[in-house]
């Protein structure tokens, strides 16, 4: 089939949109709400206007949701098209927060790009609106993120990612007219809503309407306080994520540069979340073997991912007994930084402030859990995402690109293994656990490194592994994206799950595409494969591949914890969960008042 | 007939102020637009097709500003041009009305055109039409600023599906609420109209889907199934809970009949604080949808939960209290009820009326009795068994209920005979398809002749072939028997499913309530009977909305308006005018709603419900259709195009219930 765009003929398939054919052929049509990676096409922004002519006449249509038809004549560039595209953006901006400079997305905003694309040169309407954007909700109640509806342009991408990728469906469309914006369902505020704060919505939001809570000023306060000993750490994936923000090719390992940058900004102690990941394997692996040999609750789910824990607590609490009680690497790191490290380094624990750099924003919420605090003092004092850390370095004038790399030097909590570093990708926790569990069970290392079928990017991957004569063959499952996690969890609750151990990472791809990772405008997880490969390459090049062979791990158990799952280990490194499912209900009559429609 | 002074309709300007030969839009039924409420002339009409001014003393600017305030207040806010454009225009028009000097009419027109040409849904696409028409053809009228307007104004937002629904349920809004993630509000929106959301979501005849403009692109939106989804997710799950309401009104209402119509009317009155007692002849509430609609289509726990909304609110149901047997209308007034609502329905089934037919034969039943017998049997855990072959006579939904119920309990073959063609059958065609899938044998163009019996047992039914007559003047084709085509369909059981009737003993002459020759209560559009304080609706009535047995949604729609009338009667002593209903009349009688082609959209397939396989349905009454998944509901809801249009009238005087 053939149609004409700007007078040139193009082939197309039945049902294809004007926008997709134009894009395929390199014809630019400005757009905003459309989000191709998720097939999201709400047609709400009305910016991708084109003029079409067929037998019935000439009219303006939106290119995203209008199919090409045989012989259709499309004009993407006439004066009328350009004028109407420009007025559309002028209208969107009139109903948008007016102070760009104060926004986290300043310079990285799709609406700013769009204004440039349509040649916006004036702002006639903002002052004419009696209900300005500034009157909409700014919800600060959630620990990890801010829902700033003054910046919402109603593209609804967040709603789609929350539903289709995560299966959480916490986000709703509320209000009407100029008051329409993204809400949190029947919940009174964001914190108490069904939102699990995974932050995937912040990766697709074109503006700053859904964004991480920026806590850099707290970090700066700690750095500036002479009575505080700052203990910085960063997660496995951070070393393959941060480079993006400073011009490195995607997936570049910038571990040494991060260490150097942290020293440059005045960090007192720099330790590695990798080390804590190895501790997690020791504890979780031992816990798993205990459950297997003592008839404990199986299958066991991993517990590293706070998005998953929030999901389990809020959406499917029946699954909580199946989740490992081992704290996440961040939780382990915080406990050891405030208990083990002070003993080893002779620092008063009360001076220590732990600052965790994460690919994740749900880790902010995790750090605030009462279960992860002692006498009201949280084990992790502040969590900043990769995006915030990049901003922090820019604020402090540190250019990651040019700074020479430096090694870790902490003798107690900075050694890493290949097992630890792959925690950053889906399948990594499982792979690391298999290496150590096999060795504990059989008294010898697994021959070679088992990769297939644990590696890959399919949403659910399963494998059967022979763990040796004591346990025999076990079935394992790995999933990422909570929609997949729900499927596996429901299977467990039905009693039909064949698995012994299940790894869950809330974000698709795992931490390498965490809700705190870099935003690539208009794309969804474009660098996943490179980031994942980079972690695997680091694993390949490590001196130690297994958590139990990490010399600092051996020292930790020999000198302090005695053995995995010891009383002290339980006290410091394990946690518990609680049912936080919201039992919402509303009276019919009281709900009538919420209907936004004249009777 | 009102005289058009000037206006624009479908892009054509009319100006009769300086012409000897006045003209008017030919498609319009102008005589229908004479007055809005009684004696209150329509001065200006505004709609998606333009505007018409019948009274030159009305300032057009004022009318347009009122119209645009409505547009702005109904803008959903999702798409940019309508969200921002509607309030901008509203404000600019207000400034113009205040004689502010700096109003840029060029900009106003640009914004309005942007809104009309680029909005996502009907609100933005059609809302600016009268303003743009005025700016194009009568710009001078907009410079006339209004002087002390004492005119009436009424405006409503509707759509083809809403106008097709006898209950005027705001369908696009409840679909939107599903799409927006507010399934509770979706159910709540339907609850504005009636409490039986999940029941209607299962069995409605869905006139709305026939009117759905999405059908012109691929297939109509699955409106009924979305409503069922909302009910299953919000009501059945307990997300929405009914609670006692303060019954603070002194006046009491008696409702006769706990069918869907009585329940709906009671519900609306309870919502407004009136104590209501319902008198039901049978042992259980639900009327025809309990006894007449088989369980595989409407599980009775769904129905019971929805009836319980009314009792939770404080409504009381007295069972086995039958009008005409246990009490009369006078008794109710004597007991202190201030108003009576009659909704006894048509509880009697009709027989075929064949020559010498013996209705005392145990195996010759009417559909109503048969379905009730099956319901009682299934409820008691011993569903009846039909030995041998069964013939059901009829082509409506009751016939489909009978044949599909019979198919579940019969060890022979179930036949349906219907004298017209399959296309002519009034039954929902999905029901016919389902019956066929379950194994029912259909014989269209086949009429009944007589029963064959042997020693009091049916042995068969003599039938004859029919043929279609040539189309008459109206294009309608009838049927006539083919001579000599009589033949016998052997069977042991015959079910007559051709209609139903009122109970002749319910009302007596001393009740002084007018009835038509079919014994249906005569009502007006306010659902009033001739007797003050007595209102009626549903199958037992004959009025402007429907005559005699009708659909559940029609009955519940009537109940909605009846409740409004009763409320006005009780609070003001008289039933006043209903602007919303009048607007529907005006749209229909004036032929106002545009029937335009939707602009092309990328096709999206309609979600079809999963069903039990036909073999899984044998010998049980398990619900056949399974509700949508959440993902399916979101996808289906996204197919709605929100074909809203806004209709406004300016009238000479204040409109009761208007502005």
Q: What is the pLDDT of residues B349-368, one digit of tens each?
A: 999 999 888 999 999 999 99
Question: Which chain A residues are closer than 8 Å to B239 by Cβ?
Answer: 584-586
CA dihedral (A264, A267, A270, A274) in degrees, to 10, reads -90
- Residues B10 and B155 grouped into a single domain: yes
How high is the pLDDT of residue B103? Answer: 87
Quick check: helix, strand or coil at residue B68? helix
The proportion of chain B whose per-residue pLDDT surpasses 90, expressed as a percent, equals 87
- Give Cα separations from B469 to B417, B444, B476 (angstroms): 19, 15, 9
Residue A599 has pLDDT above 70, yes or no: no
pLDDT tens digits, residue range A410-431? 999 999 999 999 999 999 999 9
Residue A182 has pLDDT above 80, yes or no: yes
Look up residue B536 and give its two tokens: 């009626």
Q: Which of A185, A586, A599 sits opposite B181 (nearest CB)?
A: A185
In a domain, B656, yes or no: no
- Residues B493 and B511 grouped into a single domain: no
Query: How many domains does chain B divide into?
Result: 4
**For position B85, which CATH number holds?**
1.20.1440.230
- Residues B447 and B522 grouped into a single domain: no
How high is the pLDDT of residue A582? Answer: 84
How high is the pLDDT of residue A598? Answer: 74
In a domain, B165, yes or no: no
Please answer yes or no on whether B78 and A129 come within 8 Å at the CB atom: no
pLDDT tens digits, residue range B366-425? 999 999 999 999 999 998 999 999 999 999 999 999 999 999 999 999 999 999 999 999
Q: Work out the mean pLDDT of chain B and round it to a whole number.
A: 94
**For position B451, which CATH number holds?**
3.50.50.60
Quick check: helix, strand or coil at residue B355? coil
Q: Which of A61, A130, A173 sits opposite B181 (nearest CB)?
A: A173
- Of B484, B500, B516, which marks where a domain is finished? B500
Which stretch of A23-27, A205-209, B17-21, B447-451 has the lowest confidence by average pLDDT?
Answer: B17-21
Q: Which of A15, A87, A130 sits opposite B114 (nearest CB)?
A: A87
Testing the interface with A: which of B86, B107, B181 to mutate, by most A Cβ within 10 A?
Answer: B181
- Of B469, B500, B531, which marks where a domain is finished? B500
- Of B500, B519, B539, which marks where a domain is finished? B500
Residue A449 has pLDDT above 80, yes or no: no
Please give, rounded to a whole number of angstroms, the shortest distance from the CA of A469 to a CA of chain B: 45
Residue A41 near residue A32, CB atoms below 8 Å: no
Question: Which chain A residues are closer than 8 Å to B240 by Cβ?
Answer: 585-588, 591
Please answer yes or no on whether B83 and A45 come within 8 Å at the CB atom: no
Spatial separation of the C-alpha atoms in residues B28 and B25, rounded to whole Å: 6
- Residues B538 and B462 grouped into a single domain: no
Considering the entire predicted model, what is its pTM? 0.95
Question: Which chain B residues are closer than 8 Å to A12 by Cβ?
Answer: none
- Residues B273 and B398 grouped into a single domain: no
Question: Which chain B residues are closer than 8 Å to A583 by Cβ?
Answer: none
Please give, rounded to a whole number of angstroms, the shortest distance from the CA of B80 to a CA of chain A: 5
In a domain, B248, yes or no: no
- Residues B327 and B403 grouped into a single domain: no
Please answer yes or no on whether A172 and B271 come within 8 Å at the CB atom: no
Pick B657 or B327 by higher pLDDT.
B327
Residue B320 has pLDDT above 60, yes or no: yes
In a domain, B247, yes or no: no
Look up residue B280 and give its two tokens: 């039901």
Please answer yes or no on whether A46 and B184 come within 8 Å at the CB atom: no
- Residues B95 and B177 grouped into a single domain: no
Quick check: helix, strand or coil at residue A145? strand
In a domain, B60, yes or no: yes
- Name every residue whose Cβ is closer than 8 Å to that of residue A211 and which is 6 or more positions away in sequence: A104, A105, A145, A146, A148, A202, A205
How high is the pLDDT of residue B29? Answer: 86
Please answer yes or no on whether A588 and B243 come within 8 Å at the CB atom: yes
Please give, rounded to a whole number of angstroms, the shortest distance from the CA of B155 to a CA of chain A: 10
Which stretch of A240-254, A560-574, B644-658 has the lowest confidence by average pLDDT?
Answer: B644-658
Handedness of CA B528, B529, B533, B534 (dihedral sign): negative
Please answer yes or no on whether A44 and B120 come within 8 Å at the CB atom: yes
Chain A with chain B: Cβ pairs closer than 8 A: 170
Please answer yes or no on whether A172 and B173 come within 8 Å at the CB atom: no
- Name every residue whose Cβ is closer than 8 Å to that of residue B290 and which is 6 or more positions away in sequence: B284, B300, B303, B375
- Which residue on chain B is closest to A61 by alpha carbon? B118
In a domain, B28, yes or no: yes
Testing the interface with A: which of B157, B180, B238, B310 to mutate, by most A Cβ within 10 A?
Answer: B180
Backbone conformation region of residue A449, classed left if phi is above 0, alpha if psi is from -120 to 50, else beta: beta
Strands B339-342 and B253-256, sheet pairing:
parallel
Testing the interface with B: which of A156, A177, A583, A598 to mutate, by most B Cβ within 10 A?
Answer: A177
Q: Which of A84, A95, A129 sits opposite B118 (nearest CB)?
A: A84
In a domain, B515, yes or no: yes
Question: Which chain A residues are closer than 8 Å to B114 by Cβ?
Answer: 84, 87-88, 91
For chain B, say whether A55 makes contact (Cβ under 8 Å): no
Look up residue B130 and give its two tokens: 């009268």
Average pLDDT on A124-145 reads: 92
- ipTM, interface predicted TM-score of the complex: 0.94
pLDDT tens digits, residue range B172-192? 999 999 999 999 999 999 999
Please give, rounded to a whole number of angstroms, the shortest distance from the CA of B11 to a CA of chain A: 15
- Residues B454 and B417 grouped into a single domain: yes
- Residues B128 and B264 grouped into a single domain: no
In a domain, B627, yes or no: yes
How high is the pLDDT of residue B394? Answer: 96
Residue B347 has pLDDT above 80, yes or no: yes
Residue A453 has pLDDT above 80, yes or no: no
Pick B14 or B575 by higher pLDDT.
B14
How high is the pLDDT of residue A597? Answer: 81
Residue A58 has pLDDT above 70, yes or no: yes
How high is the pLDDT of residue B657? Answer: 67
- Residues B23 and B122 grouped into a single domain: yes
> Beta partners for B9?
B12, B50
Strands A210-212 and A229-234, sheet pairing:
unpaired
Residue A448 has pLDDT above 80, yes or no: no
Question: Which chain A residues are closer than 8 Å to B73 by Cβ?
Answer: 177, 598
Question: Which chain B residues are closer than 8 Å to A44 by Cβ?
Answer: 78-80, 120
Spatial separation of the C-alpha atoms in residues A482 and A362, rounded to whole Å: 14
How high is the pLDDT of residue B658? Answer: 63
Q: Work out the mean pLDDT of chain A and round it to a whole number.
A: 95
Structural domain span for residue B333: 253-347+506-577
How high is the pLDDT of residue B147? Answer: 76
Question: Which chain A residues are closer than 8 Å to B79 by Cβ?
Answer: 43-46, 154
- Residues B360 and B415 grouped into a single domain: yes
- Name every residue whose Cβ is closer than 8 Å to that of residue B326 and which is 6 or more positions away in sequence: B279, B320
Q: What's the CA angle centered on A309, arms A230 and A159, to 5 degrees?
A: 100
For chain B, say whether A67 makes contact (Cβ under 8 Å): yes
Average pLDDT on A482-506 reads: 97
- Residues B258 and B230 grouped into a single domain: no
How high is the pLDDT of residue B145? Answer: 79
Average pLDDT on A117-143 reads: 92
How high is the pLDDT of residue B69? Answer: 94
Spatial separation of the C-alpha atoms in residues A131 and B86, rounded to whole Å: 12
Please answer yes or no on whether A46 and B181 come within 8 Å at the CB atom: no
């Amino acid at each position: 089939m053939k149609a004409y765009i700007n007078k040139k003929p193009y082939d197309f398939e039945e049902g294809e949109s004007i926008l997709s054919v134009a894009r395929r052929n390199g014809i630019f049509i400005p757009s905003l709400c459309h989000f191709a990676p998720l097939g999201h096409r709400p047609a709400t922004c009305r910016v991708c206007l084109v003029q079409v002519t067929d037998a019935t006449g000439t009219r303006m249509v939106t290119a995203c949701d209008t199919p090409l038809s045989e012989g259709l004549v499309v004009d993407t560039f006439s004066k009328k098209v350009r004028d109407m595209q420009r007025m559309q953006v002028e209208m969107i901006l009139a109903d948008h927060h007016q102070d760009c400079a104060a926004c986290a997305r300043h310079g990285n905003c799709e609406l700013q790009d769009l204004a440039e694309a349509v040649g916006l040169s004036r702002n006639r309407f903002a002052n004419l609106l009696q209900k300005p954007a500034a009157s909409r909700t700014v919800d600060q109640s959630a620990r990890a993120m801010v829902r700033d509806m003054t910046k919402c342009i109603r593209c609804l991408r967040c709603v789609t990612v929350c539903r289709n990728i995560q299966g959480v469906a916490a986000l709703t469309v509320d209000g009407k007219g100029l008051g329409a914006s993204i809400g949190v369902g029947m919940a009174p505020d964001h914190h108490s809503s069904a939102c699990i704060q995974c932050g995937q919505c912040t990766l697709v939001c074109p503006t700053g309407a859904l964004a991480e809570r920026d806590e850099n000023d707290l970090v700066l306060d700690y750095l500036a306080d002479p009575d505080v000993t700052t203990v910085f750490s960063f997660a496995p994936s951070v070393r393959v994520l941060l480079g993006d923000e400073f011009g490195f090719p995607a997936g570049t390992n910038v571990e040494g540069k991060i260490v150097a940058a942290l020293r440059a900004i005045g960090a007192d102690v720099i330790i590695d979340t990798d080390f804590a990941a190895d501790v997690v394997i020791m504890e979780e692996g031992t816990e798993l073997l205990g459950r297997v040999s003592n008839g404990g609750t199986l299958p066991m789910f991993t517990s590293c991912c706070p998005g998953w824990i929030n999901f389990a607590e809020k959406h499917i609490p029946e699954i909580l007994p199946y989740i490992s009680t081992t704290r996440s690497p961040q939780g382990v790191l915080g406990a050891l930084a405030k208990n083990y490290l002070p003993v080893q380094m002779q620092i008063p624990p009360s001076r220590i402030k732990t600052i965790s750099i994460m690919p994740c924003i749900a880790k902010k919420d995790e750090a605030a859990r009462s279960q992860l605090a002692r006498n009201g003092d949280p084990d992790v004092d502040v969590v900043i995402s990769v995006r915030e850390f990049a901003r922090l370095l820019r604020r402090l004038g540190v250019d990651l690109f040019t700074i020479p790399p430096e090694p870790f030097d902490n003798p107690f909590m900075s050694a890493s293994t290949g097992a630890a570093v792959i925690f950053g990708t889906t399948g990594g926790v499982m792979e690391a656990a298999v290496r150590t569990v096999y060795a504990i069970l059989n008294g010898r290392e697994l021959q070679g490194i088992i990769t297939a079928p644990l590696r890959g990017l399919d949403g659910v991957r399963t494998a059967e592994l022979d763990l040796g004569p004591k346990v025999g063959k076990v079935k394992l499952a790995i999933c990422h994206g909570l929609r997949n996690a729900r499927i596996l969890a429901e299977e467990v609750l039905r009693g039909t799950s064949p698995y012994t151990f299940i790894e869950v990472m809330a974000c698709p791809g795992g931490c390498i595409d965490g809700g705190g990772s870099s935003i690539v405008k208009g794309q969804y997880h474009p660098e996943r494969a490179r980031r994942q490969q980079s972690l695997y390459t680091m694993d390949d090049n490590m001196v130690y591949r297994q958590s139990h062979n990490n010399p600092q791990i051996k020292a930790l158990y020999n000198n302090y914890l005695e053995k995995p799952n010891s009383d002290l280990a339980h006290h410091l490194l394990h946690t518990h969960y609680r049912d936080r499912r919201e039992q919402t209900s509303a009276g019919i009559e009281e709900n009538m008042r919420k209907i936004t429609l004249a009777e | 007939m009102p005289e058009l002074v000037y206006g624009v309709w479908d892009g054509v300007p009319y100006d009769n102020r300086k012409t000897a030969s006045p003209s008017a839009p030919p498609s319009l039924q102008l005589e229908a637009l004479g007055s809005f409420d009684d004696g209150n002339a329509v001065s200006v009409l505004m709609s998606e097709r333009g505007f018409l001014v019948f009274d030159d003393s009305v300032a057009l600017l004022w009318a347009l500003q009122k119209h645009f305030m409505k547009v702005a207040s109904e803008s959903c806010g999702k798409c940019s041009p309508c969200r921002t454009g509607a309030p901008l225009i509203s404000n600019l028009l207000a400034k113009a009305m205040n004689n502010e000097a700096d109003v840029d009419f060029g900009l106003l027109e640009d914004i309005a055109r942007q809104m009309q040409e680029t909005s996502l849904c009907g609100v933005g696409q059609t809302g600016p039409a009268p303003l743009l028409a005025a700016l194009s053809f009568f710009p001078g009228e907009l410079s006339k600023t209004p002087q002390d307007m004492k005119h009436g104004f009424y405006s409503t937002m509707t759509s083809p599906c809403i106008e097709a629904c006898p209950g005027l349920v705001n369908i696009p809004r409840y679909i939107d609420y599903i799409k927006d993630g507010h399934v509770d509000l979706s159910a709540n929106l339907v609850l504005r109209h009636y409490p039986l959301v999940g029941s209607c979501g299962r069995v409605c005849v869905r006139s709305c889907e026939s009117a759905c403009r999405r059908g012109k692109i691929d297939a109509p939106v699955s409106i009924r199934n979305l409503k069922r989804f909302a009910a299953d997710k919000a009501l059945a799950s307990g997300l929405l809970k009914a609670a006692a309401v303060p019954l603070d009104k002194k006046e009491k209402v008696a409702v006769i009949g706990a069918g869907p119509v009585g329940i709906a009317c009671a519900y609306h009155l309870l919502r407004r604080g009136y104590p209501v007692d319902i008198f039901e002849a049978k042992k259980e509430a639900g009327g025809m949808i309990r006894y007449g609609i088989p369980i595989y289509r409407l599980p009775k726990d769904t129905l019971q939960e929805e009836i319980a909304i009314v009792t939770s609110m404080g409504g009381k149901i007295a069972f086995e209290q039958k009008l005409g047997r246990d009490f009369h209308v006078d008794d109710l007034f004597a007991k202190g009820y201030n108003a009576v609502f009659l909704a006894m329905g048509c509880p009697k089934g009709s027989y075929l009326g064949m020559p010498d037919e013996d209705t005392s034969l145990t195996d010759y039943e009417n559909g109503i009795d048969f379905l009730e017998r099956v319901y009682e049997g299934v409820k008691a855990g011993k569903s009846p068994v039909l030995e041998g072959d069964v013939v059901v006579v009829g082509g409506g939904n009751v016939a489909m209920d009978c044949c599909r119920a019979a198919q579940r309990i019969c060890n022979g073959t179930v036949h349906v005979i219907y004298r017209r063609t399959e296309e002519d059958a009034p039954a929902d065609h999905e029901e016919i398809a389902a019956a066929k899938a379950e194994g029912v044998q259909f014989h269209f163009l086949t009429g009944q002749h007589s029963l064959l019996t042997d020693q009091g047992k049916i042995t068969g039914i003599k039938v004859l072939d029919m043929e279609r007559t040539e189309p008459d003047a109206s294009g309608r084709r009838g049927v006539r028997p083919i001579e000599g085509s009589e033949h016998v369909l052997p069977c042991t059981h015959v079910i007559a499913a051709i209609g139903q009737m009122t109970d002749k003993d319910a009302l007596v002459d001393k009740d002084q309530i007018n009835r038509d020759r079919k014994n249906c209560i005569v009502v007006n559009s306010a659902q009033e009977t001739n007797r003050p304080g007595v209102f009626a609706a549903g199958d037992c009535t004959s009025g402007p909305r429907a005559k005699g047995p009708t659909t559940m949604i029609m009955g519940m729609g009537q109940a909605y308006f009846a409740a409004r009338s009763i409320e006005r009667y009780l609070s003001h002593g008289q039933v006043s005018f209903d602007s919303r209903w009048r607007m529907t009349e005006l749209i229909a009688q004036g032929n106002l709603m545009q029937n335009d082609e939707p602009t092309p959209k990328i096709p999206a397939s309609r979600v079809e419900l999963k069903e039990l396989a036909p073999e899984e349905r044998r010998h049980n009454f398990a619900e056949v259709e399974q509700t949508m998944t959440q993902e399916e509901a979101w996808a289906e809801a996204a197919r709605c195009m929100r074909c809203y249009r806004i209709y406004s009238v300016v009238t000479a005087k204040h409109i009761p219930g208007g502005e």
